[in-house]
Structure 1
Amino acid sequence: MLGKQWSYLLKLIQDVSAVFSITINSFLILLVLTKSPKQLGAYKWLMIYISIFEILYSILDVILVPQHYSHGPTFLVIVGIQNKLFGPSGLTLLNSFYWGFFGASMAVFAVHFVYRWLVVSENPLLETFNDRRIWLWFSIPLWYGLTWVGTGYILSAPNNSTSKFIRENVKEIFELEFGEYIYLGPFLYETMDDGSLKIHVMPFIGLGIISATIVSSVIVVLVFGYLCYDKINRLVTTTTASVKFKKLQRQLFYSLVIQTLIPFVLMHIPAGIMFLFVFLDIDLGVYSAVVSMTIAIYPAVDPIPTLLIVENYRKTIIKWFGCAPKTNSIRNSTFDSSKT
């Protein structure tokens, strides 16, 4: 029954998080379109891009109700087929898209850091964000996502060895018969009857590919994050940039840093720990559902730093929800916001 209890809790967290994610990301899109300072430039389209991405991620999470599950040298994303809008084939395809969203999330923030560096360094490549070439930047997360889709759908597809290995364990924990769910996930190796170890090559190739995407994304974030931080600090000590420009760039940088920490803490670190346990053949079992829960929470909390750190948005929220002091202080706050 423990698996059933985790499933009920997971469903509740996914539903609540999805409602909150759709609401807060839609609110952020509204603020970006109506209350952004002029100095924001093309960055507002990146902010809208990630908000739409997170809304779609939440919707897919609710449709699938995916459960991450680790058993020995395999980790799976399991989706029950009962009371679903799609059949097993459709759910398997959507499950691979779910993998794709996870992979694309890393590239989204890498692109953000590159853009922030282009702005503060006044690099000529910044012009590529001001015309149709911006779609080339937007396509980078798409390619990352498609890599993960292919890894899930092709290299980690169900097979007889994996099904035989997980059938009884899933039935015992989740009380699901084999035909009541679909899954995607690599089965890395198995011990044969004679004691020899059989390595499954294709899943290892898939794991190597997605590991490469993770490493490349982390390197881009760290390198361009440091370059942004260094450049913004040097901006503060010079007089060539306006005070408003410096202030806004610092706000956006810190917002982006916190926004990037959120998926690392809620998605990549839990998933990385699960990958490690799979390599070490340590069975997490039903407790792998923690990964499903943290992934569901991510789109709901990710917009919050932008809403609180960017001054224009923060002041607008205070004004709209009646939290600002009365009389002159409101007029002063509104006047300050309009100036930025």
Structure 2
Amino acid sequence: MLGKQWSYLLKLIQDISAGFSLVINSFLMFMILTKSPKQLGAYKWLMIYISVFEIFYSILDVVLVPQHYSHGPTFLVIVGTKDKLFGPLFAVHFVYRWLVVSENPLLGTFNGWKIWIWFSIPLWYGLTWVCTGYFLSAPNDSTSKFIRENVKEIFELEFDEYIYLGPFLYERMENGTVILHIVPFIGLGIISATIISSIIIVLLFGCLCYIRINNIVVTTVNSAKMRNLQRQLFYTLVIQTLVPFVLMHIPAAIMFLFVFLDIDLGVYSAVVSMTIAIYPAVDPIPTLVIVENYRKTILKFFGCFKKKPLLVTTTIQPTIFIRRTEATMHL
């Protein structure tokens, strides 16, 4: 399949995923605002935050149609300019869940204006990625010369019909020597550090949260409801963490491996773009399925869930029965 056909397929997947993402994330926000249990507290704003981000990401994906492309020891994100108008959130979620179940005083920082401090953490991660990509993996003469003819052959795009961003890791000279490009390696190191730090936070606070939930002693109906809700939210977060790991991290890691080995994936690198495009459409599903309030609302809407009728029982007072028996005996 030629590069142009892969591009058409990618565009179709991005359009469908974006439409589904817009609908399901909007629906999830409606459920969060109207059907959430009271115990959810400020956490609902974090959930809405991630839904808004995913809608925004889907729109950008449709407008820009970025395509990952691997050619030898370089991997790029190509955005065509012809006929055009011009990705740590879960780490914060796991921290919040641990603060709730441990009743930590820091939970107060999620109230009032202080919650914006937590909201800014993913933005700082994103800003780091943008600056790293722009300054350490920016277009240059060596990369442009290396990819120009290949992109023209595969995608039928002239050099002035697209823009690109990506590292050119090393260059093989005609005499067989290899020249390492240090700056792109530094960029990869920074991006890898942000990903690893996010994973460490998720694993650390995820384990602490799991241990704390299992140690909650149920003494009242409210405490039982709280533990049940915390378990639902925890399992939701676990699955939502696995979704980007499967759809984004693993495909990207495979592509990086081929790049280091100087194996040309060519147009098949578009698979990475496709899986990333699917992510915002799939991510809200675990929340809607696992959280009991949302699941029951959906099932009730489709007529699959009915409230159990209340069983009314009556009791006979023993004293009344005895008196009636005695009266009968006297007769």
Tell me, yes or no, whether TM beats 0.5: yes
Whether contact under 8 Å (2:6, 2:267) holds in the other structure is yes
Aligned to 1:168: 149
The Cα shift of 1:228 comes to: 1.1
1:229 maps onto 2:187 in alignment: no
Secondary structure class of the residue paired with 2:263: coil
Question: Distance between the aligned counterparts of 2:301 and 2:24, measured in 1?
Answer: 14
- Aligned-pair identity (%): 80
Question: Distance between the aligned counterparts of 1:139 and 1:276, measured in 2?
Answer: 32
One-letter amino acid of the counterpart of residue 46, structure 2 = L
1:39 maps onto 2:20 in alignment: no
Question: Distance between the aligned counterparts of 2:28 and 2:35, measured in 1?
Answer: 10
Aligned to 2:295: 314
Deviation sequence 1:10-68 (CA, Å, 0-9, x none): 11100000000010000000111111100001110000000000000000000011110
Question: Distance between the aligned counterparts of 2:232 and 2:182, measured in 1?
Answer: 47
1:207 maps onto 2:188 in alignment: yes
The Cα shift of 1:216 comes to: 0.5
The Cα shift of 1:245 comes to: 0.3
* 1:115-264 superposed matches below 5 A: 115-235=96-216, 238-239=218-219, 242-264=223-245
1:299 maps onto 2:280 in alignment: yes
Aligned to 2:28: 28
The Cα shift of 1:280 comes to: 1.7
One-letter amino acid of the counterpart of residue 16, structure 1 = I
Question: Distance between the aligned counterparts of 1:202 and 1:175, measured in 2?
Answer: 30
Q: Which moved more, 1:271-280 or 1:4-13?
A: 271-280
Q: Which moved more, 1:188-197 or 1:125-134?
A: 188-197
The size of the alignment, in residue pairs, is: 309
Question: Distance between the aligned counterparts of 2:266 and 2:204, measured in 1?
Answer: 36
Question: Distance between the aligned counterparts of 1:151 and 1:135, measured in 2?
Answer: 24
Question: Distance between the aligned counterparts of 1:128 and 1:31, measured in 2?
Answer: 25
Secondary structure class of the residue paired with 2:79: strand
Deviation sequence 1:249-271 (CA, Å, 0-9, x none): 00000011001110111011111
Question: Distance between the aligned counterparts of 2:304 and 2:7, measured in 1?
Answer: 39
Aligned to 2:9: 9
Question: Distance between the aligned counterparts of 2:226 and 2:218, measured in 1?
Answer: 12
RMSD of aligned Cα (Å): 1.4
Question: Distance between the aligned counterparts of 1:222 and 1:122, measured in 2?
Answer: 20
Whether contact under 8 Å (2:28, 2:288) holds in the other structure is yes
* 1:81-96 superposed matches below 5 A: 81-86=81-86
Question: Distance between the aligned counterparts of 2:66 and 2:142, measured in 1?
Answer: 22
Question: Distance between the aligned counterparts of 1:195 and 1:307, measured in 2?
Answer: 56
Question: Distance between the aligned counterparts of 1:242 and 1:145, measured in 2?
Answer: 38
Q: Which moved more, 1:171-180 or 1:44-53?
A: 171-180
Whether contact under 8 Å (2:218, 2:224) holds in the other structure is no
**Under a length normalisation based on structure 2, what TM-score does the superposition of the two structures give?**
0.90
One-letter amino acid of the counterpart of residue 19, structure 2 = V
Q: Which runs of 5+ in 2 are unaligned?
A: 311-331
Secondary structure class of the residue paired with 2:113: coil
The Cα shift of 1:324 comes to: 3.0
One-letter amino acid of the counterpart of residue 82, structure 1 = K
The Cα shift of 1:115 comes to: 0.7
Aligned to 2:69: 69
Question: Distance between the aligned counterparts of 1:257 and 1:234, measured in 2?
Answer: 19
Question: Distance between the aligned counterparts of 2:43 and 2:160, measured in 1?
Answer: 47
One-letter amino acid of the counterpart of residue 267, structure 2 = V
Secondary structure class of the residue paired with 1:242: helix
One-letter amino acid of the counterpart of residue 323, structure 1 = C
One-letter amino acid of the counterpart of residue 108, structure 1 = L
The Cα shift of 1:277 comes to: 1.6
Question: Distance between the aligned counterparts of 1:267 and 1:201, measured in 2?
Answer: 25
Aligned to 2:51: 51
Question: Distance between the aligned counterparts of 2:36 and 2:16, measured in 1?
Answer: 29
The Cα shift of 1:82 comes to: 1.2
